[in-house]
A and B are shown apart, each in its own frame.
Chain A
Amino acid sequence: MAVMVVVAFVAFLMFNFVGDPVDNMVGQEASYADREAMRDRLGLNDPFLVQFTRFAGNAVQGEFGISYRLQRPVADLISERMPATLELVMASAILAILIGIPLGVYTGIRRDALSSRLVLMFSLVGVSLPTFVIGILLIYVFAVILGVLPSFGRGEAVQLGWWSTGFLTVSGWKAIILPSITLALFQMTLILRLVRSEMLEVMRTDYIKFARARGLSDRTINFGHAFKNTLVPVITIIGLNVGSLIAFSIITETVFQWPGMGFLFIQAVGFADVPVMAAYLVLVALVFVGINLLVDILYFVVDPRLRVDRSVAMGGDE
């Protein structure tokens, strides 16, 4: 909760310095009086604290004001754009997890195999190439040269109540492939390398050695005993990274002209559209807080040592 207030405050504070929105809204020839009138109407002449309180009070009710640029309620804009971003992030997260974890486990177990080395080499590319370069490369190969996938947009979206989804049309599926790969690549390689190093660590522990000495099969040891012990750090990183997927999606959405929140945000920045920027930041912060909560809950599910103990009192003694 405190986190949210601070983020809201910082977001708001910051946007008071990004430029004067009025400049963009009135024409070149506007008189000083016109500008003042506009400022008054928008409440920009009120003291800072008054502005902030008003902003925060409204934000709690899901009301983020009216976009200076589009003259429409920010809440509407965001809820229009959110499904696109969330679908993109979801697709990327699933892609990153489904590919990253198995490859990480594999390279952790077969650490000297040629295939593992190749995977690691490839993962280095994913870690070090910037997102926009990957996006542009993918566009070049699949959209320009091969012409099989669209280079921009979201394809046809189907409206399901307030949620618009691209998963119900072929063009929607085609359109999401490139952006989600672009967005997932960095996370995937990060997860891969993390899982691998955690696996290497766990494979050296005594309980794995002891599990071998008990004659358990490799499968049981690798997946049942070793992998589960890598989960706590892996969940932490995945959780944090779903948050940063949303942040990274700004770049991906710009490259692919994806009609999501990140694209909206970039346009808002160019225009000093304070209500939109503030609303976006607050929303992202909310997602981060939510994810962290989820991660903490998952810890308890995975690691019994973290559960508040029913049996500490009867903890065995000689």
Chain B
Amino acid sequence: MALLEVENLRVEFPTRRGTLLAIDDVSFQIEEGEVLGVVGESGAGKSLTGASIIGLLEPPGRIAAGQIRLEGERIDNLPYDELRRIRGKKIGAIFQDPLTSLNPLYTIGRQLVETIRVHTDDTEAQARDRTVQLLTEVGIPAAERRLGSYPHEFSGGMRQRVVIALALCANPKLIVADEPTTALDVSIQAQIIALLKKLCRDHKTAIMLITHDMGVIAETADRVAVMYAGRIAEIGPVKQVVKHPKHPYTIGLMGAIPIVGRDIERLTQIEGSMPRLTNIPDGCSFNPRCPKVFDRCYVERPDLVPTGETTAACWLHAKEKTGV
């Protein structure tokens, strides 16, 4: 049994002009201690998938169908208060912007102690000890002395370390990291990623790493899911997806990564842009931009089909397999 199983997840936004389908039939699993990268353009549904898992979909967004199971138990239909006990304790979260993730009016020590005491029976003193230990672990020097500091007294990278410490407070099984490095500069990005990887190895924590940075994924993830217009276009082990992508969209994504030393006039790009939620085309939603589009793509929507070592939702590969 996988640690986290997402099955046929469907997220809708009821609006005045009809219901928008933001996530359509998404299924994946995360094993214990595994790092699953989730990539895609802005608006592909990455963050919404993450928010659904931690139960923090912003209204009016709602889970319309499907199941989310943590350690075999459904968590998508839990009442708010029971879900709250899971948040932070079993599923931690890290958000994009460390500068705004911490409450500016409280010391970091207080925020950590507060979180630890919500999830454990620790006394104030025990929680304090654990706080120092956590801060040391995420690489904050002289942690003992920094407990009384306010968030604004830390740099962005340091704040993200504090945020990671907060997410790790109760030793969660899974961390949903939504663009944890996007707001940081490149050298610090690398440190934070290395830190995340190390911590997960040490604590056997699984990570759902949401990002649009293929480089970060390639470095960190065990498997990767490529999302496009609310669906998974391709999912598989990171090496295969990066080296031998099967879905034309993934191929396009990989082609768009600039490589230092290769002398080219223009960077390759995928023509066009992702369709709006209001007018996702029939058939394969990638069909207006796909270089290899053919008749069937306009009519029928492809499902995820294993192709070699990855799984892709594309008729090109379905055809291969069924021999049509």
| A residues neighboring B (CB under 8 Å) | 205-207, 209-218, 220, 225, 228-229, 302-305, 309, 311-312, 314-318
Contacts and interface: CB of A to CB of B under 8 A. Distances in A.
B105 A302 contact: yes
Given A228-B105, A304-B150, A305-B150, A213 B100 contact: no
A317 B84 contact: no
Residue in A212, A214, A229 whose Cβ sees the most chain B Cβ within 10 Å = A214
A125 B144 CA distance: 54
Contacts of B87: 212-215
Interface of B: 54, 56, 84-89, 92-93, 95-97, 100-107, 114-115, 118-119, 140, 146, 149-150, 152-155, 157-158, 163, 166-167, 169-170, 187-188, 191
A318 B155 contact: yes
30 contacts: A206-B97, A207-B100, A207-B101, A207-B103, A209-B56, A210-B95, A210-B102, A212-B56, A213-B54, A213-B56, A213-B93, A213-B95, A214-B88, A215-B88, A216-B88, A216-B114, A220-B118, A225-B103, A228-B105, A302-B105, A303-B105, A304-B104, A304-B150, A311-B153, A314-B153, A315-B153, A316-B154, A316-B155, A318-B155, A318-B191
Contacts of B56: 209, 212-213
Contact of A305 (B152, B167, B191): B152
A110 B74 CA distance: 28
A213 B89 CA distance: 10
Given A206-B100, A220-B114, A215 B84 contact: yes
A316 B140 contact: yes
A182 B157 CA distance: 53
Contacts of A215: 84-89, 115, 118-119, 170
A26 B89 CA distance: 85
Contacts of B191: 318
A214 B102 contact: no
Contact of B158 (A212, A214, A312, A317): A317
Contact of A229 (B84, B104, B188): B104
Contact of A318 (B86, B158, B166, B169): B158
A316 B188 CA distance: 14
Contacts of A205: 100
A60 to B, nearest CB: 41
A206 B95 contact: yes
B93 A316 contact: no
Nearest to B139: A318
Nearest to A208: B103
Nearest to A232: B105
A304 B105 contact: yes
B84 A217 contact: yes
B276 to A, nearest CB: 24
A309 B149 CA distance: 10
B211 to A, nearest CB: 17
A309 B153 contact: yes
B157 A318 contact: yes
A218 to B, nearest CB: 8
B158 A316 contact: yes
A247 to B, nearest CB: 32
Residue in A206, A225, A315 whose Cβ sees the most chain B Cβ within 10 Å = A206
B158 A305 contact: no
B101 A210 contact: yes
A302 B150 CA distance: 13
Given A207-B104, A214-B87, A315 B115 contact: no
B68 to A, nearest CB: 15
Contacts of A314: 153
A15 B89 CA distance: 70
Nearest to B163: A210
A134 to B, nearest CB: 36
Contacts of B54: 213
Residue in A207, A212, A311, A314 whose Cβ sees the most chain B Cβ within 10 Å = A207
Given A213-B87, A215-B89, A316 B146 contact: yes
B60 to A, nearest CB: 11
A210 B95 CA distance: 7
Contacts of A206: 95-97, 100-101
Contacts of B146: 316
A267 B85 CA distance: 65
Contacts of B86: 215
B134 to A, nearest CB: 13
A218 B85 CA distance: 12
A289 to B, nearest CB: 27
Contact of A311 (B96, B149, B170, B188): B149
Given A210-B166, A214-B169, 9 more contacts: A212-B84, A213-B88, A214-B88, A214-B92, A215-B118, A304-B104, A315-B153, A316-B153, A317-B155
Contacts of A229: 103-105
Contacts of A304: 104-105, 107, 150, 152
